[in-house]
Amino acid sequence: MRSIRRSLLSYFLVLLAVALGLIAAFVDRYAVGAVEAREESESNRITAAFDTRRVEAQTKFDAELVQEARSLAGELNRSFFKTWGRFRPPDPPRGGGKGPADPKSAPEPKTSIEPRPSFPGKAPEDDGREYLRRVTALMLQPPAAGNWLPVAQAASATHRAWSPGWISFASPRTAARVQIPEMLHRMFEEGGDHTGYYQFHVVAAYPGRPWQSIGTVRPARLVNDLPLDLGRVEDSDLEFLPPEEVRVEGQGTFRRALVWTSVTPQGSRPLAVPVWHENQSYSAGPGLRATQYFYSPIGPSSRAFRPDFMIRVFVHAARPQSELDSRLTHAAAERDEEIQRVHSESREELTKLRTRLAAIAAGSFLALVVGGWLIVARGLAPVRTLSDAVSRVSEKDFALPVAVTDLSVELAPIHARITQTLDQLRGAFAREKEAVADISHELRTPIASLLATIDVSLRKPRTPDQYRTTLQDCRGIAKQLGQLVERIMTLASLDAGTARGAVCRVDAAELAGTCAVVIRPLAEAHGMTFTLSAVGPAELDSDADRLREVLMNLLHNAVEYNRPNGRVELAVRPDAGRVVFEVRDTGIGMSDAVRAKIFDRFFRADASRTATGVHAGLGLAIVKEYVQRLGGTIEVESTPGEGSLFRVSFPAAAAQTESPFPPADAA
């Protein structure tokens, strides 16, 4: 059996749990969103701050690199100039000199600082000059496919700094010894604690050829060359590429600043090695502008004297990327720590929020379990009241000891129904009680008579006549008793619905005739007249035995309740599809109050009749039951003191046979 209270509460709680869950989910989601957004913005701020620092550090790092490269390049330029300074470019040919192939680029360098060298006949004094002279001699050979240096050879021609403070270049056509500034010495030392790298590229362009690396100098620590993409550099006096990352095979990532310089004497012109050419034009390599310089021919030849090639030195200043990174390591760690802190704070905050949410949900759930239990109990109080009231209903009064106003509206129909049922039950019980009392009374009286008669008779010896009288009395009483029991049984079987009769076509007039045969002598014995009138053919489908019993009952009553010298009439007639039997008497009649109850069981208008007849107030009850079961109706008209009329009507048989019926009339 389920408890309303428990099930209501559980529904309530399920609903509540769902609602709480939804609310919690929404709150959680929004909170998570907000916290995460804050965390992200915080992280972004931290990252941005770090990036700023990183950019600053890198800028500084790069600036240092550029600075180093520049100073190195400047130094290099000076050294070159020192070395090659004597090679003053020859003055342009005067007067009848042939114009250059390209007249546009034929500026006349007017500012000659040093006198023209006594080239080629003069020998230099110092070894550098000597070296250069030899190199120059080599260079003076016109470039040809045979003496052009391939890249591989250029790589092999790379020289290391051979002594502290000096680097030297050597190539088939040029060599230079450059004093390294003091500040940079250690960069080239082996086993130093410095981290920077420097590399020098000497690049030359021959007339008609692209720029070509002709020699590199790199520190010992550097296993491979830092790459140089000539395509990217511009032809300018002192230019630089912004610091960038480069990868070196086997060496890791470096940050490199690239600065280059054209080796120019007096900072005015790039160093050009004059080479004898005839009407030969320069072709610049891709991305390189070649400035053409024209010189007057040296010596007796009047041919144009042009620079054979131009030298440009590229200075790489590089430091491992890791150095920059290590400078930033601390900042990065700080950043990571900061981000981690923000993250953990967010987690913590979320956890706290969720704990609080769970606590609120659990608290409200608990409160509502208790509250709901009480509220449901309160809501169910009327049901309890009703149930208590129902349990207190006793069979004494069958009253529901609670007013409908004390209950809720919803229970009013139940209350009404229970009250109604109880009323019916009370009625039924009362009837039952009454019936039992009636039956027992009806049975007791004859039994008491029987016993008393026998007892009296047995009290002393009697004559045979006296015994005979006693026995006759007893027989009469027993007969009455038997009839009574018979009637009670009839009613009981009618109530149980077990009594079923056979329906057949019945001729009403004939049936009335058979009743008349029995009743007429009885009526005459009581000094009454009996009349039977049957009008027209009347047939019906019914149970003849029961129908006869109905009529006999009514006729017996008519005789019994009649006055002396009265009349009893039985009339049969068809009436609008029905067959009507009328039993009329001239007896005592009955009042309306009596008439209303006349078909009730054990009802007797006059109790005295029990003494005279077999009727215990059951006759008319049985008549009514029979009539109803046979589908008919019964009605009574009566005037007190004048007589009564019982009218019983049944549906006529479907097909009336047109047999003329002679009215059986007797007085």
Partner 1 sequence: MRVLLVEDTQPLMRAYRQGLEEEGFAVDVATDGEEADVKARTTQYDVVILDIMLPKIDGLTLLKKWRTDGIKTHVLMLTARGTTTDKVAGLDIGADDYLTKPVDLDELFARVRALVRRGHQQKDPVLRCYDMDIDTAARTVRRAGQQIHLTPREYALLEFLAFHRGKVVTRSMIWEHLYDEYDENTSNVVDVYIRYLRNKIDKGFDPPLILTRWGEGYMLRGDDDPPAPPAGKKG
Binding site for partner 1 (CB under 8 A): 437, 440-442, 444-453, 455-457, 459-460, 473, 476-477, 606-612
Q: Kindly tell me which of 77 and 480 has the beta carbon lying closer to partner 1.
A: 480
- In the bound complex, what is the minimum distance in angstroms from residue 377's beta carbon to partner 1? 43
Note the Cα 163 to chain centre separation in Å: 81
| DSSP states along 204-227 | EE-TTS-EEEEEEE--TT--SPPP
Q: Kindly tell me which of 111 and 612 has the beta carbon lying closer to partner 1.
A: 612
- In the bound complex, what is the minimum distance in angstroms from residue 469's beta carbon to partner 1? 9
Q: Kindly tell me which of 542 and 610 has the beta carbon lying closer to partner 1.
A: 610
- In the bound complex, what is the minimum distance in angstroms from residue 591's beta carbon to partner 1? 15
- In the bound complex, what is the minimum distance in angstroms from residue 593's beta carbon to partner 1? 16
- In the bound complex, what is the minimum distance in angstroms from residue 636's beta carbon to partner 1? 22
Helix then strand then coil, % of the chain, to nearest 5: 50, 20, 35
Three-state secondary structure call for residue 614: coil
Q: Kindly tell me which of 362 and 448 has the beta carbon lying closer to partner 1.
A: 448
Q: Kindly tell me which of 395 and 410 has the beta carbon lying closer to partner 1.
A: 395
Q: Kindly tell me which of 113 and 607 has the beta carbon lying closer to partner 1.
A: 607
Cis check for the bond before 143: say yes or no (omega within 30 of 0): no
In sign, the C-alpha dihedral spanning 329, 333, 339, 342 is negative
- In the bound complex, what is the minimum distance in angstroms from residue 464's beta carbon to partner 1? 17
- In the bound complex, what is the minimum distance in angstroms from residue 447's beta carbon to partner 1? 5
From residue 418, alpha-carbon distances to 1, 14, 249, 404 in Å are: 22, 34, 103, 11
Please give the single-letter amino acid code of residue 102. Answer: D
Nearest to residue 631, comparing CAs of 661, 616, 653?
Answer: 653
From residue 664, alpha-carbon distances to 212, 301, 650 in Å are: 161, 187, 21
In sign, the C-alpha dihedral spanning 274, 275, 280, 281 is negative
At 542, give phi and psi (nearest 5°).
-160, 180
Q: Kindly tell me which of 607 and 655 has the beta carbon lying closer to partner 1.
A: 607
Helix locations, 249-380, DSSP H:
321-379
Helix H or strand E encompassing 578: strand 578-585
Q: Kindly tell me which of 160 and 462 has the beta carbon lying closer to partner 1.
A: 462
Instruction: Take residue 458 and report the two structure tokens written for it.
Output: 């047995």
Which residue in this structure is represented by tokens 């040919």?
93
- In the bound complex, what is the minimum distance in angstroms from residue 612's beta carbon to partner 1? 8
- In the bound complex, what is the minimum distance in angstroms from residue 458's beta carbon to partner 1? 9
What whole-number distance in Å separates Cα of residue 566 and Cα of residue 94? 189
Q: Kindly tell me which of 92 and 617 has the beta carbon lying closer to partner 1.
A: 617
- In the bound complex, what is the minimum distance in angstroms from residue 606's beta carbon to partner 1? 6
Q: Kindly tell me which of 437 and 654 has the beta carbon lying closer to partner 1.
A: 437
From residue 546, alpha-carbon distances to 494, 499, 640 in Å are: 12, 11, 29
- In the bound complex, what is the minimum distance in angstroms from residue 446's beta carbon to partner 1? 8
Q: Kindly tell me which of 79 and 453 has the beta carbon lying closer to partner 1.
A: 453
Three-state secondary structure call for residue 258: strand
What whole-number distance in Å separates Cα of residue 462 and Cα of residue 452? 15
Q: Kindly tell me which of 609 and 647 has the beta carbon lying closer to partner 1.
A: 609
What whole-number distance in Å separates Cα of residue 219 and Cα of residue 443? 146
Q: Kindly tell me which of 125 and 455 has the beta carbon lying closer to partner 1.
A: 455
- In the bound complex, what is the minimum distance in angstroms from residue 608's beta carbon to partner 1? 2
Query: Side-chain half-sphere of 383: how many Cα atoms within 13 Å?
Result: 9
Q: Kindly tell me which of 62 and 442 has the beta carbon lying closer to partner 1.
A: 442
* β 197-205/238-248 pair status: unpaired
* β 633-639/567-575 pair status: unpaired
Instruction: Take residue 332 and report the two structure tokens written for it.
Output: 């990065």
Q: Kindly tell me which of 405 and 463 has the beta carbon lying closer to partner 1.
A: 463
Instruction: Take residue 356 and report the two structure tokens written for it.
Output: 């609080």
- In the bound complex, what is the minimum distance in angstroms from residue 444's beta carbon to partner 1? 4
Task: Enter the DSSP assignment of 232.
Answer: G
Q: H/E/C letters for each residue in 306-329?
A: EEEEEEEEEEEEEEEHHHHHHHHH
The CA-CA-CA angle for residues 429, 433, 434, to 5°, reads 115
- In the bound complex, what is the minimum distance in angstroms from residue 431's beta carbon to partner 1? 16
Widest Cα–Cα separation across the chain: 210
Q: Kindly tell me which of 261 and 480 has the beta carbon lying closer to partner 1.
A: 480
Cis check for the bond before 265: say yes or no (omega within 30 of 0): no
- In the bound complex, what is the minimum distance in angstroms from residue 604's beta carbon to partner 1? 9
| Whether 503 contacts 635, CB under 8 Å | no
Contacts 24+ apart (CB under 8 A), 367-374: 368/12, 368/13, 368/16, 369/9, 369/13, 372/9, 372/12, 372/13, 372/16, 373/5, 373/9
- In the bound complex, what is the minimum distance in angstroms from residue 430's beta carbon to partner 1? 13
